[in-house]
Amino acid sequence: MSQLDPTPKAIPLGKSGILVSPIAWGMWRFAGVGVAEGRALIEAAFEAGVTLFDTADIYGFDGAGGFGDAEVLLGRIFAGSPGLRARMVLSTKGGILPPLPYDSSPAYLAKALDASLTRLGVEQVDLYQIHRPDILTHPQEAARALEDMVTAGKVRAVGVSNYTPAQAQALASFLTIPLVSHQPEFSPLHLEPLENGLFDQAMERDMAVLAWSPLGGGRLGVPADARSAGVAAALDRKAAETGASRAATAYSWIMAHPVRAIPIVGTQNPARIAELAQAFAITWTRQDWYDVLIAARGEPLP
């Protein structure tokens, strides 16, 4: 039986020409800590082999305030640690504007990008993604905004987050540059990208897939229902073969799919960040991988 082996080797970020780690570290909870603590978390991610770091202008917002706080903290870390920025592939996102809630107009996205660059204290980000689709912006207008960012040298590559395959196709049809990434929610407890054609589109168009909430919003850590408990049990059976953690096994399961999805890990615990390397010690047979999928579906495959 063939085996599916996640690899620690760098992989392409779609058609961008940029190589990234097969696991990313996300900053949606990267706020409210000091510069020294934040720097320690980043160093822990580097030590675990991470080169792709994902943030957004909305990260840090708690419903009342804090818009931009995660970017501000990262900018302070960059300011105090010259050379740190050059060690990472930096991704950020824009287009969510509470309480509007979404705006992908060229004027707003240009303003949002400039604000992100200012908070980060950098002149360029490697990847800029529209965070959520704005249904009141024509995809041709959004495409113009993204192309202008690249032409201005402020962004190296562009992508989308939380887009359907049809929305991504519409946007890509108006672009003269590659749409290099999808960023959907994906985990054994959220299979939609596997079922709605997003993974198929990504493989067809050579787009990277950045999977947010790879542990099902924490439900794989502390199962709250029969389905999550079943998935946790299936992961634990596989984890026992190598002594890996359940979390690392879930990341490995995500990476074993041929789309080579990149889990975005959000833990703020250095010890848990160190566990990321365990994901590459796991070898999946087709049977093992499908066992987790069947537990995730809660019913046999047809």
CA-based nearest residue to 47, from 277, 249, 282, 261: 277
59 labelled catalytic: yes
Question: Is 180 in contact with 209 (CB distance < 8 Å)?
Answer: no
State both tokens at 10.
């760098």
Those residues with Cβ within 8 angstroms of residue 78's Cβ, 6 or more apart along the chain or in another chain: 84, 85, 120, 121, 122
What's the rounded Cα separation, in Å, for the pair 5 and 280?
Answer: 8
Q: Give the residue carrying structure tokens 């303003």.
A: 111
284-285 and 262-265 beta bridge pairing? unpaired
Q: Identify the sign of the CA torsion 140, 141, 142, 148.
A: positive
What's the rounded Cα separation, in Å, for the pair 138 and 63?
Answer: 28
State both tokens at 142.
């959004």
Count of C-beta atoms within a 10 Å radius of residue 108? 18
Q: Which residue is catalytic, options 59, 102, 128, 251?
A: 59
Residue type, 258: P
Question: Is 267 in contact with 275 (CB distance < 8 Å)?
Answer: no
What's the rounded Cα separation, in Å, for the pair 199 and 261?
Answer: 9
What's the rounded Cα separation, in Å, for the pair 14 and 129?
Answer: 13
The residues annotated as belonging to the active site are: 59
